Structure 1
Amino acid sequence: MRLLVPIIFTTLCLAGCSGEKEKRPRTVPLVEVRPIARVSFSDDLEAVGTALANEQVVLSAPVTERVDSIHFADGGYVRQGQVIATMAVAQERAELAAAQAQARQAQQQLDRIQQLNSRGFATAASLDQQVALVNSARANADQARAAITDRTIRAPFSGYVSLRTISVGAIIPAGTAIATVSDISRIKLDFTIPETRLSTIHEGMPIKAVSAAWPDRPFNGTIATIDPVIDPTSRAVRVRAILPNPDRALKPGMLLTVSVLARQRQSLAAPELALVGEADDRYLFVLEGRTAKRVKVDTGIRQNGMVEITGGVKPGQKIVTEGVVKLTDGTTVRLAGDKPAPGGVGSGGKDRAAKAGG
């Protein structure tokens, strides 16, 4: 009997403790909620493009000849029609003078034959022959003038010239580059996009470009042309945008990161942390009274920490934005400012403390 009494007492104590533990209520999770609202989303398209001059031409020597004069400074600005350089033209001027003298002589002879022909002393054949000689002499003079003009290199449009690589007096072969003239008042920006995104862009659409040389300065422009032919190898289409360049900050050949500001819209949005994933499905916890209901939603793009919600909830519904890890479907929750639930951490702790003190 003496041995059974301690055992029975211990068993009763353990049973009492176990019963008290089973009756202890679960803590009501504290969450934050807010009404779901619309946020601006845009289907931005990122690409990399190369800057090109609005107009650019390499001026080359038309013939093998000596450089007689140069009329531009390194990197200087030239206007349309301005003389860039001249080649030696002494021989061509002499040929022009000879052709002009022959043309005058042939014209004088033609005048005499015409007078004789009018009085019947010259045949029509001799008149026709002299007319041909006059025309030939004039053609020779025109050819000499053209040769002189070709040896005067002019700017076809206004722009900036490249660094000079030739000197006066040098004999350069035909085709040698004399200067490159570039019109960079605006920049053509060429980039490619996948054919799958072709439906998201159109001419006139705004773009934003950033260069490594000016990382904190975006350059705004618009799409001017979309190539009508898709590259069959890369399955990409070439797009050309125009960027104003009044201060000449952009240079031809620069590499720029392009952001196409595609379709913009207002859509319902939820914070990324408010979404719960399960396989390929996404869920939000919608608050009904003080009960969190798990609702399957359709999602779109992610932007600035927000996820586009395209279906499953309605505007104005309250969703749980913080504390979703503590929830299951149908969980009772409490919000900041709510009184502690009976039997919760606050009240249960105080009751137990009072009993212990008693």
Structure 2
Amino acid sequence: MISLASCGAGKKEGDARQAPLVTAATVASARFIDRIEAVGSARANEQVTLSAPVTQRIDRINFEDGGFVAQGQVIAVLAAGQQNAQLADARARAREAEQQLARLSALKDRGFATNASVDAQIAAAASARAQAAEAIASIGDRVIRAPFAGYASLRTVSAGAVVSAGTEIATISDISRIKLDFPVPETMLSAVKPGQTIEARAAAYPDQPFRGTIATIDPVVDPATRSVMVRAVLPNGDLRLKPGMLLTVAIESGARVAPAVPEPAIIGQGADRFVFLIGEDDVVKRTPVKVGVRRDGMIEITEGLKPGQKIVGEGVVKVADGAKVRTAGPAAAKPTQQASAE
């Protein structure tokens, strides 16, 4: 009797060892988003470098370092003494030519001047007016104006300095909006389109996302990198973003709801993936699945499972196909969880 009781107790202990304790999880629906990540460079909405058109002395500088300038505002004025003198001379010649033309026209009406002399004087008057216009244009070239509103760069020249043609005087940048250029692999091109929302982050503001939209996609793929340049536009009302900044870009697309399971529930064998489906009487079945994107510990299941099914969430190394298990749980995936591709 004692011997038989001992054998019975040993059998029960063996049965207990054959039923490992695992954590169960319920397959639940979760929202997944495909995510493309890239690195891009920030550019000003508009930017221009204003340079001296001729070699000349600077008479006046009319902007502050980093200050705001309005469209059409005078940035600098170059000396134009010689051009002013030329303009005065050209205007005097134009007046003289007009007066001479009036006298010849009167003489012609009385028959004392030929048509040829009148025509010659008309040409002389037109030439004098053209010389005056040329002098005015030359003076205007020495007044450097902002072509659009923006912020001026740091000043590197001073009034009184003689600058040569092409010397930079100021750079004007319109940073009310930022153009963000970044490459996208050609394999991902079908997931990118104008109007799509992007999220960018700068190292200077790691906790603040900057959101914008894709404006343009370059029609040409770079044969060296097999990528295409995409340009997004980001509002920059607080002027935090600066031209030249390096930003990480995330493009979200393909939002969908799909079955999701915890990462530890997935078993890998080569290119195949499996889960242990818990059936009646807590008997597990090795079930093949196809997986999608993953994030925050959850994996999308594209084929093989349905929401509501119970699987082994943790402890898959303890079980085998057809084995009976003891479950602790179930720990269901949160249906409100959002995941995206890395």
Change (3 A) 1:32 1:337: closer
Q: 1:105-120 to 2 correspondence within 5 Å? A: 105-120=96-111
Q: Aligned residue pairs: how many?
A: 326
Shift of 1:17: 8.1
CA RMSD of aligned residues (A): 2.1
Is 1:288–2:256 an aligned residue pair?
A: no
Say which of 128, 140, 143 aligns to 1:152. 143
1:49 and 1:63 map into 2 onto residues whose CA distance is 37
TM-score (structure 1 length as normaliser): 0.87
Shift of 1:337: 8.7
Please tell me the residue identity of whatever aligns with 1:316: G
The equivalent residue for 2:301 is 309
1:36 and 1:337 map into 2 onto residues whose CA distance is 13
Could you tell me the percent identity over the aligned residues? 57
SS at match of 1:26: helix
Q: 1:1-358 to 2 correspondence within 5 Å? A: 25-27=14-16, 28-289=19-280, 290-336=282-328
Larger radius of gyration: 1
Shift of 1:23: 7.7
2:329 and 2:185 map into 1 onto residues whose CA distance is 52
SS at match of 2:125: helix
SS at match of 1:328: coil
Change (3 A) 1:37 1:23: closer
TM-score (structure 2 length as normaliser): 0.90
Q: Which runs of 5+ in 2 are unaligned?
A: 331-342
The equivalent residue for 2:336 is none
Structure number with greater CO (CA < 8 Å, separation at least 6) is: 2
Q: Which runs of 5+ in 1 are unaligned?
A: 1-13, 339-358
Shift of 1:216: 1.1
SS at match of 1:203: coil
- Please tell me whether the aligned partners of residues 197 and 252 of structure 2 are also in contact (alpha carbons under 8 angstroms): yes
The equivalent residue for 1:347 is none
Residues 231-265 of structure 1 show CA distances to partners (whole Å, capped at 9, x for unaligned) of 11111111111111111111111111111112211
Shift of 1:63: 0.3
Residues 164-195 of structure 1 show CA distances to partners (whole Å, capped at 9, x for unaligned) of 11111111100000000000011111111111
SS at match of 1:167: coil
2:286 and 2:230 map into 1 onto residues whose CA distance is 45
SS at match of 2:14: coil
- Please tell me whether the aligned partners of residues 24 and 328 of structure 2 are also in contact (alpha carbons under 8 angstroms): no
Change (3 A) 1:20 1:158: closer
1:212 and 1:283 map into 2 onto residues whose CA distance is 40
